[in-house]
């Protein structure tokens, strides 16, 4: 792969694939608890907040001298003075915990589905997934871009087939209610997590071929994520007797056609691969930047602990998803927004947010939306 830059389509798919992970599997279960109208409200607010937030991250990255990873960006625009080293260490710890949590979720989801499909020990299936996911490191960022593109095309195809089969074999129905404010609030947090693509945005900004297409790639990826997530949720709810916490399990059991079980398993694996790659590369970039190691060595130093945690810890998948939503919001509010304001005082690149880039009302609204995301992670879906 001589051309190491990402095409527009690869960049768009990278943003979409980074978010299509656990969210697409857990949201159908949450939707049946609140109904369609409550879900639409949660979706609209989460989409709008995510779109603005990711353009903010893109502008922050594009106006940094060393935009290789989030920690390097914050060192340039936020951490300074006598406390710089302490702040650097504190955020490094927080970033490591967040990335580890993300990777653990992907391994847990993939391992559960492989165990159900193959009948193997769950520890073995987690190791199988991790091993297959790690192959991409051989091909670097360009390999990740190509992998994300192919995976997302397959995911779209699988969701389309599942929708057709669900419409043919309708077992459930859409509940057109609003739900309680608490449950809508909780689902809003899940959507925010499902759209999470903070690290892939930094990767797109650094590696896209045509810099002027960055904004379109980011919004296009977020939109594709939302459309596929919504389409899959409809397919699951209509085709399932009972919507399970991991949606593909209930759907496969309800339709009862052998090929559906295979398609559902393929969907989960592809979704976990796309998200694992983005977070894994982001983590390895941090390790490489801190210790000056090669990308390949950094990858394994960064990702092996997630496999160990996934094997040893007993928490359920939905627990990890909600914990991740809260942790991500802390990162965004505490460090990213202040760094952004410092970066755009004298911008080096044209700002994607344009006239909204310094709008205090808009930025404050985004901050509130992220704080609400953190609070929502403490509200149970059940």
Partners of 208 in the beta sheet? 6
Concatenated DSSP letters for 147-182? Answer: HHHHHHHHHHHHHHHHHHHHHHT-----------HH
Read off the pTM: 0.87
Instruction: Characterize 109-143 residue by residue with b for buried, 16 or more Cβ atoms within 10 angstroms of its Cβ, and e for exposed.
Output: bbbbbbbbbeeeeeeebbbbbbeebbebbeeebbb
Partners of 6 in the beta sheet? 208
Please tell me the least confidently modeled range out of 30-34, 77-81, 286-290. 77-81
How far apart, in Å, are the Cα atoms of 65 and each of 155, 206, 287, 348? 36, 11, 19, 9
Pair 17, 181: CB distance under 8 Å: no
Q: What does the alpha-carbon distance between residue 356 and residue 197 come to, in Å, rounded to a whole number?
A: 21
Per-residue model confidence as pLDDT tens digits over 113-139? 788 778 888 889 999 999 999 988 878
Per-residue model confidence as pLDDT tens digits over 275-287? 899 889 888 988 8
Instruction: Identify the pLDDT of residue 226.
Output: 93
Region of residue 316 (left: phi > 0; alpha: psi -120 to 50; beta: else): beta
pLDDT (mean) for 15-19: 88
pLDDT (mean) for 203-209: 92
Hey, is 208 helix, strand or coil?
Answer: strand
Instruction: Look at residues 304, 303, 297, 306 and name the one whose alpha carbon lies nearest to residue 283.
Output: 303
Hey, is 66 helix, strand or coil?
Answer: coil
Is pLDDT above 90 for 18?
no
Upper half-sphere CA count for residue 78 (Cβ side, 13 Å): 22
Pair 201, 133: CB distance under 8 Å: no
Model confidence at 80, in pLDDT bands (50, 70, 90)? confident
Domains of the chain as residue ranges with CATH: 8-376 (1.20.1740.10)
């Amino acid at each position: 792969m001589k051309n190491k830059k990402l095409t527009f389509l690869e960049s768009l798919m990278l943003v979409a694939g980074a978010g299509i992970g656990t969210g697409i599997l857990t949201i159908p279960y949450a939707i049946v608890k609140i109904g369609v109208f409550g879900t639409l409200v949660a979706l609209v607010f989460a989409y709008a907040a995510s779109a603005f937030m990711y353009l903010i991250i893109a502008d922050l990255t594009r106006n940094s001298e060393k935009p290789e990873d989030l920690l390097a960006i914050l060192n340039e625009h936020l951490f300074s003075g006598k406390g710089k080293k302490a702040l650097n260490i504190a955020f490094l710890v927080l970033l490591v915990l967040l990335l580890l949590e993300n990777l653990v979720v992907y391994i847990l989801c993939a391992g559960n589905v492989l165990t159900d499909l193959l009948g193997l020990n769950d520890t073995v299936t987690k190791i199988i997934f991790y091993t297959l996911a790690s192959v991409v490191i051989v091909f670097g960022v360009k390999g990740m871009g190509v992998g994300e593109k192919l995976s997302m095309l397959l995911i779209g195809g699988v969701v389309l087939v599942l929708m057709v089969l669900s419409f043919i074999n309708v077992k459930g129905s859409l509940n057109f209610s609003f739900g309680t404010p608490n449950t809508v609030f909780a689902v809003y947090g899940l959507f925010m997590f499902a759209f999470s693509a903070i690290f892939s945005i930094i990767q797109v900004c650094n590696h896209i071929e045509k810099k002027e297409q960055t904004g379109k790639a980011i919004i296009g990826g977020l939109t594709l994520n939302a459309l596929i997530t919504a389409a899959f949720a409809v397919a699951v709810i209509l085709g399932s007797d009972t919507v399970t916490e991991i949606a593909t399990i209930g759907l496969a059991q309800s339709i009862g056609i052998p090929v559906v079980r295979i398609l559902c398993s393929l969907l989960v694996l592809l979704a976990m691969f796309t998200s694992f790659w983005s977070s894994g590369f982001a983590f390895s970039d941090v390790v490489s930047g801190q210790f000056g190691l090669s990308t390949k060595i950094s990858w394994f130093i960064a990702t092996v602990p997630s496999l160990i945690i996934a094997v040893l810890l007993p928490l359920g998948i939905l627990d990890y998803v909600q914990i991740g939503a809260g942790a991500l919001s802390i990162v965004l509010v505490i460090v990213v927004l202040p760094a952004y304001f410092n970066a755009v005082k004298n911008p080096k690149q044209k700002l994607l947010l344009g006239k909204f880039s310094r709008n205090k009302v808009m930025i404050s609204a985004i901050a509130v939306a992220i704080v609400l995301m953190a609070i929502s992670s403490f509200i149970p879906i059940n």
